[in-house]
Every structure is written in C-alpha cells, then in structure tokens.
Amino acid sequence: MKRYICGAVLAAALTPTAGIAADCGEVSITEMNWASAAVVTSVSKFLMEQGYGCDVTVVPSDTTPAVTSLAENGEPDIVTEMWVNSAGEAYNKLKENGKIIELGHVLDPGGVEGWWLPTYLVEEHPELKTIEGVMANPELVGGMFNACPDGWGCRITSDNRIRALKLDEKGFEIFYHGSGETLATSMAAAYQDKKPWFGYYWAPTVPLGKFDMTMVDLGPFDEEAYKNNQNKDTPNPGLSSFAPAPILTVVTKDFNKTHPEIAELMSKVTFKTDTMSGLLAWKDENNASNEETAVHFLTENKDVWAEWLSDDAKAKLSKILK
C-alpha cells in the first residue's frame, strides 16, 4: 500500500499545479545503468525540480560514455555515482585540466567489497568473525567459498587472496559461479534455510540490503598486497582487506560556476552504503520504480535530506512531503 501512496505523492508533486517556478533553468544529470545510481538520480531530480525549480533532463549513461561526453562536449552538467577507480586516465585528465569538479562522496564509505557470512552463523560461532577462525573451521561455513564469475574484476582480486591463503588446500571447495544471478541466488537460498554460506559480495546491492550478513575480517589493509592483487599473474599475492571504492558526484566547471546553489545541494547528497542497499532491497521487494523508491526514501528520511537543502527549498518540499 505504501508503494501506491508514494506513487500518488510523486504524481501530485509533478503536476503543473505544484506551483514551482523554473528558477534555476535547465540541468542535465546522468542516470548510470545500475540500480543505485538510478535511485540517486531520481532523488536528486525530485529535489532539484520541486525544491529549486530546475528543468531537469535525465541522460542515460555509463562510466566510459559519461567521461567521453564530458571530455568532448562538456556535458552532462552532473554525473552521479562516478566510480573513480573504473573511470580511467581520461577522467584523470579532465580533473587535472580543471574541466570537472568533484563535489563529494555520493556513497559513504563508497563501494564496499568483502568476504561475507550470514550474521546468524557468526552469532552462533563468534570465532568465524576473522579469516583465521574461518580457516580453522571449514565445516562450520559449509566447506565452500562462493567466488566471482569469470570476467569480473573481483575474480582476480579474490583469486589472489585465495592463493595467498591457500584456501583450496585448507579444506575449502572454491565454487565459481557462472553469473552474478547464481551468486546472489546461492546466498538467498542459504539464508532462507539458515544454512552456512561463505563467499564474495559487494554493496550497495539488493542481497546485502535483504540479508543480515557479516564481513569477515581479513586483517589490516596492506597497500602493497592490495595493488599486487589487482594483477592476475602476480607472483606474490598477499592478504589485505578490501578498500572501499570512492564513488563521487561530479559536475562540470561551468555548471559549478553558473549554478552554485545546485552544486552545493549535490555536494551534500550522500547515502550511507548500507542505506542504499536497504533502498534497493525495498525497491526489489515492492517491484517499485526508481521514482517510487525516491519518494519512499524522501518520506522516510526527512531528517537526512533536510540537511541537504537551502531554507527556501526545504520550505517548498515540506508542503509536498508531509
């Protein structure tokens, strides 16, 4: 029922009778082709239109096309969820040449990777909190490590950690999933039956929003080992925790200058990674659209987004989202 109420609120807000003047003019913003970015864009679009009177155009994109468009055309104005680690040298040149401004981290602490266990398993066997405890008790975690599919970057980095630990020699079967769907399904099936599950996963994602999982402590971050583990053929893989991937909101230099109020807003639009996983789980469970998910977030988290807004925008939105 809440889904339909949220949809009705959104529909009412977007009608011409909402009385929002086009104060800030035209704004273009990316909608990257993954779920969390689409939610960020929907929330940002809603706030810009209803709070600041912007005429917002959503531009479907991905990391490489967005960077190319910024370099060649100086647009779109705003790029949400720029995964800097994947953006390449072209992005670094844009930054060095002052063509873009990094406003802030749209996900906090960023993209999270790790090796996980169901929390119910860790609560029953606290020794499993660390990789040493897991390796000493392979039977408690089902004797299997659920690994990344071929072609994924995590396949290389996790494989190198497996090599460093000699996991396959310590009583573990390494099961390589054929797709992300089967990896997610294996976690869901184990969780439903309260069985062991041990494997790689990342956030923000639907499964980590649906299921209470505990990240296994792989020890301290080791920069040298972390870098070595990026190389498929490294002769000396090492053990290191995963570092969160920085995920930023980026605007063009011109937009930052011509729309300082919107740039300030977007510098504050930040979601905890766990919060975003929860939103994605809600979206999945309710078969909701990106817009409905945005309104769900806005209606349930007023204390969060209110801090992002100017006083005038806050007053306008308080009339819509009561």
Would you say residue 20 has pLDDT above 60? Answer: no
pLDDT at position 9 is: 52
pLDDT per position as a tens digit, 99-113: 999 999 999 999 999
Quote the CA–CA distance of 21 and 259 in Å, as a whole number: 16
Percent of the chain with pLDDT over 90: 85
N-terminal to C-terminal alpha carbon distance within the chain: 17
Nearest to 308 by CA among 41, 51, 11: 51
Given pLDDT bands bounded at 50, 70 and 90, which one contains residue 320?
A: confident
pLDDT at position 137 is: 97
Quote the CA–CA distance of 309 and 175 in Å, as a whole number: 47
Peptide bond between residue 109 and the one before it cis (omega within 30 degrees of 0): yes
Instruction: Tell me, rounded to whole angstroms, the distance of Cα 78 from its chain centroid.
Output: 17
pTM of the model: 0.89
Calculate mean pLDDT across residues 286-308: 95
Nearest to 174 by CA among 138, 204, 205: 138
* Amino acid identity, position 227: K
pLDDT at position 4 is: 44
In the block, tokens 């925008």 appear at 313
Provide the 8-state DSSP code for 193: T
pLDDT per position as a tens digit, 184-199: 999 999 999 999 999 9
Strands 25-32 and 54-61: parallel
CA-CA distances (angstroms) from residue 41 to 48, 125, 271? 10, 41, 12
Would you say residue 242 has pLDDT above 90? Answer: yes
Helix (H) or strand (E) holding 106: none
Given pLDDT bands bounded at 50, 70 and 90, which one contains residue 318?
A: confident
